[in-house]
Structure 1
Amino acid sequence: MIVHLRNFLLPFYKLDKLGKIQKQFVRYGSLQASAKVLEHLKTRNLLRVRGSEASDFLQGLITNDMKHFEEGAANLYALFLNIRGRVLYDVIVYKNQKDDVYYIECDSRAVDSLQKHLKMYRVRRKVDIDNLGDSINVWALFDITRYSSNTDADNNRQKLEGLIFPCGTLNNKSSKVIDNIMMYEDPRLPNLGIRILAESNIEKSEIQKRLNTDMLNSDGTLSYKAFLYKLGIPEGIEDLPPGKPLPLEVNCDYLHGISFHKGCYIGQELTARTYHTGVVRKRLMPLLFEELPSKSFSYDEKIVDECGNMIGKFRGNEKKYGLALMRIAETLRAKSITISDHKLIVSKPLWWPQELQQQSVSVDKK
């Protein structure tokens, strides 16, 4: 469904007492004009899947439900799994304005592998799978102040109340195309902002004109990667090495990327079994270094508590923000957490469902 640009951007605005639209920016002083950032995501590329059987074809391969598009969704978050139920690729699937045409956004370093994966399962289906290369760029418009206060957390928990295993796309049914610039709401979380697909010859300034002229562009602005780590959200093969992670441990369910009601898909058995047991003891959680680390850390490097017990494994970091797979109960009980003698603060993501927040608090008080 295409909507007017003014309505599409309303989540970023509020009304004053007179009913006039004002920009909803967090201001820390008169010199700070905006907290929004527009960034070209150079590590993301697109595949195009088209044909009369494209939807049914993807339905049997991804964790989410392609039927959401029939209900009006503009895009959705999903994973491709291998036959053992391990994550191969994290993607965002976009519905083109043309019928039976979909874009699949993935890590640019995995785009060739994903294309081969799709072609392997295509068999005789009437589906074309094309690598769009550098013809279309992926951009993100995000607000670096989102989830920066308890108020943001409380508001979001109300939205997620009762949805311990949410699926679907947060009812994100808005998209807009202007002069070869395609704009979609991010399907994972409401405050992740807007995903933008634009032809490569379109400059940043042109996209900015279509969105907001007051965006921050300074060199000291929080990068998109650091923004994701600050929230505890993985993206790409660095955070999700193909064939290693499990879908529920990387919070795919909390990010509205998995359906437990659709038919069979590759890798479904282990995921469904874990869901029915109702137990996920390890999940990705955001890290905050107390001091800017002076060294790099390897994937899977041990994170320990004050007794030297391993309670987590390192995944990645961008300056002081990082991501790790942590044992939830042990992490919340720990008095101090370190990695190679670097002190860490590990927090519960503010966007986790309310029920899990309450469970975590009860564990923390023991």
Structure 2
Amino acid sequence: MVRCALLKERELTALTGQDSRSFLQGMISNDIDQLSPSRSIYAAMLTAQGKYLHDFIMVDRSPAVWIDSEEARCDELTERLSLFQLNSDIHIARQGHLLTVAALWGNEAISCLGLEEKVGATKPFGDGLAIVDPRLPSLGSRLIAPAADVEALISSLGIERATSADYDSHRLRLGVPDGSRDMIVDKSFLLESNFEDLNGVAFDKGCYIGQENTARQKHRGTIRKRLVKVSIDGPPPDLGVPITWNKGEIGTMRSSRDGQGIAMIRLDRWAEAKAESAKLHAGPAIVVPVKPEWANF
């Protein structure tokens, strides 16, 4: 069964102009040269210290580059991009509700669109594009298209209609972080947020803002904590609630829903707690950290 949800919390920004790609190359964590009409990418923007600001999916809709990001923070994103464009030939425009972002998941969520099951695989879809999620194919596929095109697909293929909350449960089951709900703006680092495993950072490209500290963490192996999936037994903990055991704090809760969530966990303390078969608590709930199947740490 394929399910489809309209992601009204996402919005597109279009960048056009002859300098747009070279401009983005100096701004994002991934390699813009890997972006093509047949491949989309996942990337982030960082502070000069390498701390998280924004993450997004990037799509080549020549002559434009489309950026699929959090709707609630789209103004912040466009303002930051505009801050650095100076005299470059770049035009930045929010797309509002001209295009809809939809997520499809389930056993045939990729094949029903005629896509290969490859990270970021992309093809035209009506007046928009269909893509395999560039973070993780098991997340499913994504449609960026006029709402009428998405509705026509749902009707023609008998796809089950779902909600953003349903999709949120799906990505939590996989242990995939969701933007600023799970990463803390101006505080989180990419590698502790699993960006390398989620295809969001390139270590063989030129310089970009925040590159130096990200590369240093990679080569020194200094990541002491990670975002991990947690199962929750009890009332859902609020965002930021400490996770504790009998020797103190081990991490903090991030997003959660339906008995599962994401948490930032200290890896050494987690290993110690597992060795002692200790119970971890987030408020009155018991939480059990689980390393996502796709993670390599």
- TM-score, scaled relative to structure 2: 0.89
Indicate the structure with greater strand content: 2
Work out the CA distance in 1 between the residues paired with 2:132 and 2:42: 11
Work out the CA distance in 2 between the residues paired with 1:198 and 1:248: 32
Residue 271 of structure 1: CA displacement?
0.7
Residue 193 of structure 1: CA displacement?
1.0
DSSP 3-state at the match of 2:179:
coil
Q: Which residue is equivalent to 2:137?
A: 190
Work out the CA distance in 1 between the residues paired with 2:120 and 2:293: 24
Letter in 1 for 2:152: E
Residue 254 of structure 1: CA displacement?
0.7
Q: Percent identity?
A: 28
Residue 231 of structure 1: CA displacement?
1.5
Contact 2:118 2:137 in 1 (8 A): no
Letter in 1 for 2:56: V
Which runs of 5 or more structure 1 residues have no equivalent in the other structure? 1-33, 147-169, 357-366
Give the stretch that moved more between structures: 87-96 or 308-317: 308-317
Is the counterpart of residue 94 in structure 1 residue 35 in structure 2? no
Work out the CA distance in 2 between the residues paired with 1:192 and 1:339: 27
Contact 2:251 2:265 in 1 (8 A): yes
Q: Which residue is equivalent to 1:67?
A: 33
Q: Which residue is equivalent to 1:51?
A: 17
Residues 317-339 of structure 1: per-residue CA shift (max 9 Å, x gap)? 11311110011232244221111
Contact 1:139 1:197 in 2 (8 A): yes
Is the counterpart of residue 81 in structure 1 residue 46 in structure 2? yes
Is the counterpart of residue 303 in structure 1 residue 243 in structure 2? yes
Residues 29-68 of structure 1: per-residue CA shift (max 9 Å, x gap)? xxxxx2x210111111010001111110100000000111
Residue 272 of structure 1: CA displacement?
1.1
DSSP 3-state at the match of 1:238:
helix
Letter in 2 for 1:205: E
Q: Which residue is equivalent to 1:286?
A: 229
Residue 176 of structure 1: CA displacement?
2.5
Work out the CA distance in 2 between the residues paired with 1:145 and 1:75: 20
Residue from 306, 319, 325 that aligns with 2:258: 319
Change (3 A) 1:86 1:175: same
Work out the CA distance in 2 between the residues paired with 1:133 and 1:85: 29
Work out the CA distance in 1 between the residues paired with 2:237 and 2:270: 22
Residue 245 of structure 1: CA displacement?
1.0
Residues 107-158 of structure 1: per-residue CA shift (max 9 Å, x gap)? 0011011001111110111111001111111100012899xxxxxxxxxxxx
Residues 61-117 of structure 1: per-residue CA shift (max 9 Å, x gap)? 0000011126x7521000000112110001101001x23x10001100110110011
Contact 1:110 1:237 in 2 (8 A): no
Residue 171 of structure 1: CA displacement?
5.5
Work out the CA distance in 1 between the residues paired with 2:136 and 2:118: 11
Q: Which residue is equivalent to 1:344?
A: 287
Work out the CA distance in 2 between the residues paired with 1:180 and 1:225: 26
Q: Which has the larger radius of gyration?
A: 1
Change (3 A) 1:174 1:297: closer
Q: Which residue is equivalent to 2:114?
A: none
Residue from 117, 121, 124 that aligns with 2:80: 117
DSSP 3-state at the match of 1:237:
helix
Which runs of 5 or more structure 2 residues have no equivalent in the other structure? 110-116
DSSP 3-state at the match of 2:192:
coil
Contact 1:230 1:287 in 2 (8 A): no
Letter in 2 for 1:174: A
How many residue pairs align between the two structures? 286
Q: Which residue is equivalent to 1:160?
A: none
DSSP 3-state at the match of 2:65:
strand
Residue 236 of structure 1: CA displacement?
2.6
Residues 168-209 of structure 1: per-residue CA shift (max 9 Å, x gap)? xx9546323233242111111121111111114x16531324
Work out the CA distance in 2 between the residues paired with 1:187 and 1:127: 25
